[in-house]
Amino acid sequence: QVQLQESGPGLVKPSETLSLICTVSGGPISSYYWSWIRQPPGKGLEWIGYIYYSGSTSYNPSLKSRVIISVDKSKNQFSLKLNSVTAADTAVYYCARDGYNFYFDYWGQGTLVTVSS
């Protein structure tokens, strides 16, 4: 059974960089696409971007200028960096596995990141 777990700081100051790691267990990171998705408190879901195990990426244009997603196959992890954060970036951040056609079949439990000074 594939499991995903997000980790990283729960509080980030405005203008700084949000950094999260997703650790994948129960299966290899190879041969799949892996995404980050976020959900502001009480609101809906927003896809941030994905990475393929080979390292190729695709980002949501709304965040593209501020996002980097990378992968570390040796650790079965992928990571998210979002720079120049503001209060609008406060959200629960989820990592997820993209199924065969980019629906999300496995999700992490999510981690709340608050942007505040």
Which residues contribute to the site for other proteins (CB under 8 A)? 35, 44-47, 58, 60-62, 94, 96, 99, 101-105, 107-110
Q: Which is nearer to other proteins, 93 or 115 (CB)?
A: 93
The minimum distance between CB 112 and other proteins, in angstroms, equals 11
The minimum distance between CB 83 and other proteins, in angstroms, equals 19
24 secondary structure, DSSP code: E
Q: Which is nearer to other proteins, 29 or 50 (CB)?
A: 50
For residue 21, give the H/E element and its range: strand 18-25
Q: Sort 100 into a burial class: Cβ within 10 Å, 0-12 / 13-18 / 19+.
A: exposed
Q: Give phi and psi for 68, each to the nearest 5.
A: -135, 125
The minimum distance between CB 85 and other proteins, in angstroms, equals 20
The minimum distance between CB 15 and other proteins, in angstroms, equals 25
Q: Which two tokens stand for residue 106?
A: 């496995």
